[in-house]
């Protein structure tokens, strides 16, 4: 019925042994004076012992008050004090699930999406290390196509058969090789990943529920499944979408209210319907699709609504990325903060010959590392519109930890992360891609230095600059005026670049002008402001004009000023 591992191989636990352990603990609780209705605090990591204690408390007629083992003293005091719970604690250290799957070989796997993401990411990394990146990409595309079409025929059937042994069998082996059904919950599973796994022979069924529903409300069932959805309501349950897009649920599994908190209870209910806090939609057949969390929705300075989960799910699929947070609320563009998977980072350093002791902080400007993360950003951006795309990213020096940046269920605490890494969000950030030629004259900047419109073009590929007016370096507190342009910021010193450049947005996009050439007032001729420019800035001196470069060379060579 169960299996446990304590420093050695997996040991089976029969149903008879399990029932005996539950009964023994229940008898001990009753002998200790536990009465029906008493509340008992249970602090433990996820383990068989937790299940034994939980069912024993029920068998004794008491109520379990679960406490995360990572909770602070103040949190434990509040939980137990509010519930009047008696303290019973058990601590254990379960191994990492992905590393144990191959040894345990489960037939039914219940996991959060992160487990499936890491398995797929590890397979991609292994293929890349073996020089089979293109082979794996082709196999992934084939599996997704088979899953979407629902059948295999002709060339698609042949390709699937070939990749079956080369790729799909290894992927199934990473999950133990015997998984008949996989169930995902706790967060939405990326749709492409779901199709990839199903096409590779691993059917993942998603469900949806909340702590307040005491169990799942909707579920994809084997015979009726739609990848990307969390399924149909279970018998006795119902869901609906409120006018603002919030998912509401009702049914016998919905709780009655929060303990000793009638105000919070009133706020969470809309009549008889429970407000979930999740955003979603229902298709014509009643399948529920989740689109994000209501409180996490980003509204950019341009008024664009962006659900961060789509971008974050795509970023976390990259084998090198552990966690990420997409930022952009009331900002002109979307920014991504990413942390690295330490095990993958170590392998990456060995593969590229980087110093073994180098940290993410040491290599946060390393061109190879930035290129690897940029690949993940580009893949994430392919899933959204240009207005929703990540324009800038930052590699954070340390990973996220449970109890600080992460909740006990390993969900990111956005407010905490934004407060802690505010300097990384508002400081100089790496730009994700070069501008598109000829589009600069079609865009403008808002009044004021360093305040680009949400759709303003990006700076040259790989450029980094401190935005004005908050970031100019000593010796240059104000950007020289260039008529027809707006100053964005000043770059950071880089190897091979003896001088510094000031980044202006002009008729031909972003122009990094060497600071030595703009030390005095310069003007752009009216002929240079043609080609669809909406600004049509007037010039004061037509003798000075910037020639349109045919390409984007180094910043010190970009702009050519002539008298």
Task: Give the pLDDT confidence of 32-48 residue by residue, as tens digits.
Answer: 889 999 999 898 877 88
pLDDT over threshold 70, residue 86: no
Cα 510 to Cα 487: distance, rounded to the nearest angstrom: 10
Range 274-278 average pLDDT: 95
Residue 290 and residue 278 in contact, taking contact as beta carbons nearer than 8 Å: yes
Give the chain's length: 563
CATH for 204-295 is 2.30.38.10
Residue intervals in the chain for CATH 3.30.300.30: 297-431
452 pLDDT band, cuts 50/70/90, is: very low
Chain segment 335-380, per-residue pLDDT in tens: 999 999 998 999 999 999 999 999 999 998 899 999 999 999 999 9
Number of other residues whose CB lies within 10 A of the CB of residue 329: 16
List C-alpha distances in Å: 305 to 292, 293, 456, 468.
11, 12, 17, 26
pLDDT over threshold 60, residue 242: yes
Given the structure tokens 């991609």, which residue do they identify?
Answer: 124
- pTM attached to this predicted model: 0.64
Residue intervals in the chain for CATH 2.30.38.10: 204-295
pLDDT over threshold 90, residue 83: no
276 pLDDT band, cuts 50/70/90, is: very high
Closest Cα to residue 200, out of 125, 153, 145?
145
- The structure tokens listed for 314 are 């795509």
What pLDDT, on a 0 to 100 scale, did the predictor assign at position 291? 87
Check whether domain 2-89 has CATH 3.40.50.980, yes or no: yes
- The structure tokens listed for 184 are 């995902």
What mean pLDDT value characterizes the chain? 77
Chain segment 400-423, per-residue pLDDT in tens: 988 889 887 778 888 889 888 887
What pLDDT, on a 0 to 100 scale, did the predictor assign at position 427? 57
pLDDT over threshold 90, residue 472: no
CATH for 297-431 is 3.30.300.30
List C-alpha distances in Å: 497 to 21, 350, 501.
71, 29, 9
Of the two residues 496 and 376, the one the predictor is more confident about is: 376
Residue 400 and residue 417 in contact, taking contact as beta carbons nearer than 8 Å: yes
Chain segment 319-336, per-residue pLDDT in tens: 899 999 999 887 888 999
What pLDDT, on a 0 to 100 scale, did the predictor assign at position 514? 57
Cα 207 to Cα 230: distance, rounded to the nearest angstrom: 5
Range 455-477 average pLDDT: 43
Range 438-467 average pLDDT: 36
Considering just the CA atoms, what is the radius of gyration of the chain in Å? 28
């Amino acid at each position: 019925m169960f299996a446990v591992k304590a420093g050695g191989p997996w040991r089976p636990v029969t149903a008879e042994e399990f029932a005996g352990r539950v009964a023994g603990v229940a008898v001990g609780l009753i002998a200790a004076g536990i009465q029906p209705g008493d509340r008992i605090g249970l602090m433990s990591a996820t383990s068989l012992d937790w299940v034994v204690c939980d069912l024993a408390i029920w068998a004794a007629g008491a109520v379990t008050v679960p406490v995360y083992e990572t909770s602070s003293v103040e949190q434990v005091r509040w939980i137990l004090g509010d519930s009047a719970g008696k303290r019973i604690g058990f601590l254990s250290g379960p191994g990492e699930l992905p590393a144990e799957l191959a040894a345990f070989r489960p037939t039914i796997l219940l996991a959060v999406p992160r487990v499936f993401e890491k398995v797929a990411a590890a397979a991609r990394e292994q293929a890349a290390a073996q020089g089979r990146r293109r082979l794996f990409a082709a196999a992934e595309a084939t599996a997704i196509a088979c899953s979407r079409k629902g059948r295999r025929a002709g060339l698609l059937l042949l390709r699937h058969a070939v990749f079956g042994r080369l790729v799909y069998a290894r992927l199934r082996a990473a999950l133990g090789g015997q998984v008949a059904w996989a169930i995902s919950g706790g967060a939405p599973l990326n749709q492409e990943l779901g199709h990839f796994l199903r096409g590779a022979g691993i059917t993942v069924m998603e469900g949806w529920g909340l702590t307040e529903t005491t169990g799942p409300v909707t579920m994809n069932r084997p015979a009726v499944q739609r990848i990307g959805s969390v399924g149909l309501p279970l018998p006795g349950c119902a869901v609906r979408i409120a006018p603002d897009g919030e998912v509401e649920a009702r049914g016998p599994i919905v709780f009655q209210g929060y303990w000793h908190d009638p105000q919070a209870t009133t706020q969470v209910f809309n009549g008889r319907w429970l407000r979930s806090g999740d955003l979603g939609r229902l298709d014509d057949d009643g399948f529920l699709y989740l689109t994000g969390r209501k409180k996490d929705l980003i509204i950019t300075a341009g008024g664009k609504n962006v659900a961060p989960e789509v971008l974050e799910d795509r970023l976390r699929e990259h084998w090198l990325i552990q966690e990420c947070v997409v930022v952009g609320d009331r900002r002109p563009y979307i920014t991504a903060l990413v942390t690295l998977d330490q095990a993958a980072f170590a392998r990456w350093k060995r593969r590229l010959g980087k110093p073994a002791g180098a940290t993410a902080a040491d290599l946060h400007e390393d061109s190879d590392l930035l290129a690897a993360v940029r690949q993940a950003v580009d893949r994430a951006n392919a899933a959204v519109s240009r207005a929703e795309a990540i324009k800038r990213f930052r590699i954070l020096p340390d990973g996220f930890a449970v109890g600080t940046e992460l909740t006990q269920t390993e969900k990111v605490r956005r407010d905490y992360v934004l407060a802690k890494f505010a300097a990384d969000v508002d400081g100089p950030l790496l730009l994700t891609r070069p501008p598109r030629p000829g589009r600069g004259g079609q865009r403008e900047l808002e009044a004021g230095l360093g305040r680009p419109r949400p759709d303003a073009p990006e700076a040259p590929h790989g450029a980094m600059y401190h935005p004005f007016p908050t970031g100019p370096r000593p010796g240059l507190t104000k950007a020289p005026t260039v008529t027809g342009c707006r100053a964005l910021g000043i770059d950071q010193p880089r190897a091979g670049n003896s001088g510094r450049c000031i980044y202006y947005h002009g008729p031909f996009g972003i122009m990094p002008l060497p600071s030595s050439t703009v030390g005095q007032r310069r003007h752009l001729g009216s002929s240079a402001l043609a080609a669809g420019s909406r600004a049509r800035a007037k010039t004061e001196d037509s003798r000075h004009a910037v020639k349109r470069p045919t390409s984007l060379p180094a910043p010190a060579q970009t702009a050519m000023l002539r008298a």
